Amino acid sequence: MFVIHCPWCGDCDGTEFSYGGDASRQRPAPDADFDTWYDFVYLRDNPRGPHDEYWQHVSGCRQWLKVRRDVLTHRILATGTPADNLDEVAS
């Protein structure tokens, strides 16, 4: 069971959140080339360890947040707003 720290609501049960996937990907500019878009839409690093990901607090404040979670242990290492740099939040 996850307890995710929402930057707006505090610690909340993981079932209140919906998963939004890999947050390390940067949406390309609309006129970016085909390979850049292909990489963004289809390819994933899929690391076995710390993973930055989006979650949405759907049963709470409905805000999106960014979570750094170790996908091997399910341990949550840091959370922040989507604009936060988790390296700074974690330290």
Partner 1 sequence: MSRYSVFAIVRHALSGNRDWQPAWRDPEPKRHYDVIIVGGGGHGLATAFYLAKNHGITNVAVLEKGYIGGGNVGRNTTIVRSNYMLDDNARFYEHSLKLWENLSQELNYNVMFSQRGVLNLAHSKAQMDAYARRGNAMRLNGIDAELLDREDVQRFVPELDFSDNARFPIWGGLLQPRGGTARHDAVAWGFARAADSLGVDIIQNCEVTGFKIDGDRVLGVETSRGVIGAGKVGIAVAGHTSQVAKLAGLKLPIESHVLQAFVSEPLKPLVDTVITFGAGHFYLSQSDKGGLVFGGDIDGYNSYAQRGNLPVAEHVIGEGVSMMPCLSRTRLLRHWGGIMDMSMDGSPIIDRTDIDGLYLNSGWCYGGFKATPGSGWVFAHTIAHDEPHEFNRGFRLDRFRRGYALDERGAGPTPNLH
Does 21 help bind partner 1 (rule: CB under 8 A)?
yes
Instruction: Examine residue 39 and tell whether it contacts partner 1 (CB under 8 A).
Output: yes
* β-strand partners of 13: 3
Token pair for residue 13?
Answer: 């049960």
Which among 42, 69, 64 is positioned nearest to 54, based on CA atoms?
64
Region 69-88 residues binding partner 1, contact defined as CB under 8 A: 69, 71-74
45: three-class secondary structure by DSSP: coil
Smallest distance, partner 1 to C-beta of residue 83, A: 22
Q: Among the candidate windows 25-33, 48-56, 58-66, 83-91, which touches partner 1 by CB under 8 A?
A: 48-56
Report the 10 Å Cβ neighbour count for 3: 10
Interacting residues with partner 1 (CB under 8 A):
1-2, 14-15, 19, 21-22, 38-39, 41-46, 48, 51, 53, 69, 71-74
